[in-house]
Structures are given as C-alpha cells and as structure tokens.
C-alpha cells in the first residue's frame, strides 16, 4: 500500500497536488479521475491501493497533455484530428490524449465545426479554389464530411460562390473574347463553354451559380 503524505488544492478547485510515500509528487485534475473517486476519502496519512495510485498518475498524465493542448490551441484554432496527432508526436499516450480532447470538446475549446467555418472563410478570401478542393481540404484535416459540407454550405452564399466561380474561370480557364462573330468562332466558343460547364460541375459548383454566370455572360 502507498500512503498519502499530503494533498493540496490550488486556486482552481479541480487542480490538486499530491505527494505519496513512494517519493512521487505531481499535480492532477480531479475531472480526470474515475467517477467513483470521492475526494474526502483521500487524506494525508491515508493509504491507497496500487490501482488508486495508478488512477492519480493517469489524471496527472492527462493534465500534462491538457497543458500541451492548450498551448497549441492558444497559437491557432485546432481540429480534433490535428491536435490528436500533434500531442501523440510530442510523446503523450493515446489514452490520455483521447480523454483530454473529450474534455476540451465539452468545454467548446475544441470545435471542428467552428474550425471548418473559419478555415473556409480564410481560403475564400485568399485563394482561388473550387468547392471540391475546399471540401477535400477540410476532410484532409480530419473534419467529419457532414461538418465540412455544412461549413461550405454556410460560407458559399450565391454571392460568394459566384465570386469564387468568376475568379476560377478568369485565372484558370478563361473563355475566348466574344468580339469575333464568325460562325467558326461561335462554334469554338460554344464547345469551350460546354467543356467549361462540365468542368465547373465536376469541381462542385452549383448548377444555379453556373447558370447565373452563363446568363450574365450570354453564353
């Protein structure tokens, strides 16, 4: 059996520091302890089993992972998948990371939907991409496909999607000018327009926005 030498509470009621008779001294968060734990049962001079000591050490490891996670979140918004990988690369065990990410999600510190919306808005402002590429980018960052599609739907209003489509055409697939009215040129323009329409649909642009562009440009 192991004896508790001291157990102290900090300014945060959930944070405690415990010293054990085996010489170990560490801090932990009570919310990372098993639900069956009763604080009042653990007092200086009291003995605890090896299992209980292991639970305290587990909670302490979770607290260390939490601190590392919060430092990363403070630098930039994170996805659950991305934060999970970063913490594992820093040497934290999977079991500890999963518990910490669950708590951060419950506190809304970690929110994949919020991340997806912010990411899409930033890309719309800075890049010339298509809805298909934006969706792939979100999914590649570990965002659930339904959440990714919801973020795109919220961001891509008719005005925003129309602007994205125009930028994409102008920079990547410009149509020939309409100045030549010969029959040969008209056929060439019609073929180019058909190919472009197919491409735009394949890139995820909505039929209504494509049709609006066609009407505006008399294609």
Residue whose pair of structure tokens reads 């990547």 in the numeric block = 172
- Within 8 A by CB and 6+ apart from 119, the residues are 77, 137, 138, 141, 151
Q: Are 15 and 45 in contact (CB under 8 A)?
A: no
| Structure-token pair, residue 202 | 């394949």
Q: Which residue has the higher pLDDT, 172 or 9?
A: 9
Domains of the chain are 2-106 (1.10.10.10), 112-156 (1.10.10), 160-219 (no CATH)
Classify residue 32 by its DSSP letter.
Answer: G
Which of 14-23, 33-42, 181-190 holds the top average pLDDT? 14-23
Q: Is 118 exposed, middle or buried (0-12, 13-18, 19+ CB in 10 A)?
A: middle
| CA 141, 144, 150, 153 torsion-angle sign | positive
Mean pLDDT of 187-214: 88
Alpha carbon distance 167, 120 (integer Å): 16
For the chain, give the mean pLDDT. 89
pLDDT for 93 beyond 80: yes
pLDDT tens-digit readout, 28-87: 999 999 877 766 678 888 888 899 999 999 999 999 999 999 999 999 999 999 999 999
* Listed residue (160, 135, 133, 131) closest to 148, CA to CA: 135
pLDDT for 185 beyond 70: no
pLDDT tens-digit readout, 121-162: 988 887 778 999 999 999 999 999 999 999 999 999 999 999
pLDDT value for 11: 82
Mean pLDDT of 181-203: 77
Coil/strand/helix, residue 36: coil
Buried b vs exposed e over 14-23: b needs ≥16 C-beta within 10 Å? eebebbbeee
pLDDT for 186 beyond 70: no
Mean pLDDT of 80-101: 97
Alpha carbon distance 114, 136 (integer Å): 17
105 CB neighbour count, 10 Å cutoff? 13
Mean pLDDT of 111-127: 89
Alpha carbon distance 85, 78 (integer Å): 11
Q: Which of the residue ranges 28-37, 94-103, 179-188, 198-207 would you say has the lowest mean pLDDT?
A: 179-188
pLDDT value for 39: 63
Q: What's the pLDDT band for 183 if we cut at 50, 70, 90?
A: low
């Amino acid at each position: 059996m192991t004896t508790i030498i001291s157990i102290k509470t900090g300014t945060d009621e959930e944070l405690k520091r415990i010293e054990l008779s085996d010489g170990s001294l560490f801090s932990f968060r009570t919310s990372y302890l098993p639900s069956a734990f009763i604080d009042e049962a653990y007092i200086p001079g009291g003995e605890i089993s090896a299992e209980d000591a292991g639970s305290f050490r587990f909670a302490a490891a979770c607290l260390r992972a939490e601190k590392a996670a919060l430092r990363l979140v403070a630098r930039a918004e994170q996805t659950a998948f991305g934060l999970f990988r970063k913490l594992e690369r820093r040497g934290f065990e999977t079991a500890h990371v999963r518990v910490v990410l669950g708590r951060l999600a419950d506190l809304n510190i970690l929110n994949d939907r919020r991340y997806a919306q912010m990411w899409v808005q930033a890309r719309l402002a800075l890049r010339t991409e298509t809805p298909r590429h934006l969706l792939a980018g979100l999914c590649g960052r570990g965002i659930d496909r339904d959440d990714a599609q919801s973020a795109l739907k919220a961001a891509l209003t008719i005005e925003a999607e129309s602007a994205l489509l125009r930028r994409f055409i102008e920079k990547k697939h410009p149509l020939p000018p309409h100045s030549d009215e010969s029959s040969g040129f008209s056929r060439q323009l019609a073929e180019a327009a058909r190919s472009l329409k197919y491409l735009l649909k394949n890139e995820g642009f909505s039929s209504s926005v494509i049709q609006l562009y066609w009407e505006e440009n008399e294609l």
